[in-house]
Amino acid sequence: MHEFTGERGPGGWWRGGPWQGGRWQGGPWHKGPFGPPGAAVPWRSSLAVAVVQLVGTGFAAHRQPDRTDLGPGVYALLLAGPALLLLRHRHPRLTVLGVSAVTLGYLAAGGPGGPVFLSVVVACVAAVAAGQRAAAWCAVGALWAGRLLIAHWLYRWLPPLGDGAAGWGQEVAVAAWAAAVLAAAELVRVRREQWARERAERAAAVRRRADEERLRIARELHDVLAHSISVINVQAGVGLALLDQDPEQARTALTTIKAASKEALGEVRQVLDTLRASGAAPRQPAPGLDRLPELTEQAAGAGLTVEVETRGVRVALPPGTDLAAFRIVQEALTNIVRHSGARSARVRLSYAPDELELRVDDDGPATTDDTADGMTGGGNGLVGMRERAAALGGTVEAGPRPDGGFRVHARIPLTVAPAPRDEPATPDATEETP
């Protein structure tokens, strides 16, 4: 029998999995420096940027004696960029524009060249990853244009005194640097969207597996309880009717009730054990067509004579196919007991190399008003049959026959090559249970 693949916890279907408490806890971007909007304040990465800018600019100043010495104002501008980075998750647009303005102010103050643009890179990537592409492009474009003005026109009035214009070849390198920053930001955005899609797909797969498991358990419980309770109901009516007139027959009915209830409790316990013992193999094998004689015997106890016919060479079926076939026949016979006035039914099993065909017929007529729901597709029984067959790529058709009565016809493909049994059934063999 199919089992859970994880342990159910209070925060979701699987404890210890990536989906907990209604929030996704995984993903490579969740705790990175370019995390999603609304994440915690990124003080560690901002502090690292501040240290790199201060130390790197200090080393660069020793190699550029013509640049302005590092004074309080330059230090303040160097620290203003990393300080603004603390807001990049909650306010990415404001951050990238503010960092670009602070960096432009540093260039206007004549500070030595160094890793001052590291704040711009981090702010730009965070803004693009957060969806603020226009703000990031405008901020980098404004910074490049402002530097162009400072290097080729405004340098005459800005420190350091006596500084000359920058070469135009240098501007090509700066433009390439700006394009590389924007390209890196776009790459991060694309990767983040990929991770978000994968995260959503994994979460949807977890929910889908949970729904499938819930529906599977509901089908199992419905099939077990509906059949057994129908037999118990019929036998209880017989026992009450014959309690005074024929005590021995009433005793037989009570014996049948005891056996049916014991079997139902065993199968329900098997389903519940699967839920309690996650990852453990079921203690008992799932029912299959080898238990069809028990099924016909129970139907006989409810007053329904079942004739079983097997066509083709009987083969060992995959466990899922065997269980689905058994449940389909079980539900069809249960519906006859509950909704039909027929006292006989015919079950035909046809084995083909690539398909198993099931057909259950009765001669009717219907005895209750809910037949339209229970027998023609509006009830849970036939819905469960169709779901079982569809899960294996098969189909179930159910409806009245032209000559009267009702028919359930199922086709289930054999996707796994079956192995012949040691004792194959004789073709066209017929068994009858009185």
pLDDT band of 24, cuts 50, 70, 90: very low
Backbone angles phi, psi at 395, to 5 degrees: -140, 155
Mean pLDDT of 338-365: 89
pLDDT in tens, 83-126: 999 999 999 999 999 999 999 999 888 888 788 899 999 999 99
3 state DSSP class of 306: strand
Average pLDDT value for residue range 347-364: 92
- Which tokens sit at 234? 């019929």
Angle at the Cα of 282 from the Cα atoms of 281 and 288, rounded to 5 degrees: 125
Give the mean pLDDT of 133-159: 86
Instruction: Report how far residue 413's alpha carbon sits from residue 394's, in angstroms, rounded to the nearest whole number.
Output: 6
Is the pLDDT at 155 greater than 80, yes or no?
no
pLDDT value for 95: 96
Could you give phi then psi for residue 366, rounded to 5 degrees? -70, 150
Residue 36, pLDDT score = 57
Q: How many helices (H) and strands (E) in the chain? A: 11, 10
Over range 394-423, report the average pLDDT: 77
What's the average model confidence in pLDDT over 8-22?
Answer: 39
pLDDT of residue 181: 85
CB 317 within 8 A of CB 289: yes
351 with 310: CB under 8 angstroms?
yes
Question: Exposed, middle or buried by CB within 10 Å (0-12, 13-18, 19+), for 310?
Answer: buried
Better-scored residue on pLDDT, 142 or 265: 142
Query: In the chain, pLDDT over 70 holds for what percent of residues?
Result: 76
Whole-number Å distance between alpha carbons of 426 and 331: 26
pLDDT of residue 51: 93
| Alpha-carbon distance values, 201 to 17, 22, 188, 216, 328 (Å) | 14, 15, 20, 22, 33
Across the chain, mean pLDDT equals: 77
pLDDT in tens, 289-344: 998 998 888 888 778 899 999 999 988 898 889 989 998 998 898 888 878 878 89
Average pLDDT score over residue span 358-383:
64
More confident residue, 155 or 206: 206
Looking at residue 347, its pLDDT comes to 95
Cβ-in-10-Å burial (0-12, 13-18, 19+) of 39 comes to: middle
Q: How far apart are the C-alpha atoms of 387 and 390, rounded to whole Å?
A: 5
CA distances (Å), origin 286, targets 246, 298, 343: 38, 18, 29
Q: Which of 61, 70, 47, 158 is nearest to 114 (CA)?
A: 61
**Which residues have CB under 8 Å from 150's CB, separation 6+?**
104, 107, 108, 158
- Could you read off the pLDDT of 40-67 as tens digits, one per residue? 789 999 999 999 998 888 888 777 766 6
Predicted confidence (pLDDT) per residue in 233-286, tens digit: 777 877 788 777 888 877 777 887 877 787 777 777 777 776 666 555 455 567
Asked if residue 425 has pLDDT above 60, the reply is: no
Query: Is the pTM above the cut of 0.75?
Result: no
Percent of the chain whose predicted confidence (pLDDT) is above 90? 26
Burial bucket for residue 319 (CB in 10 Å: 0-12, 13-18, 19+): middle
Res. 428 pLDDT band, cuts 50 70 90: very low
The confidence score (pLDDT) of residue 278 equals 56
pLDDT of residue 64: 74
pLDDT at 426: 41
pLDDT recorded at residue 69: 64
Structural domains of the chain in order of their starting residue, each with its CATH number: 18-203 (no CATH), 288-434 (3.30.565.10)
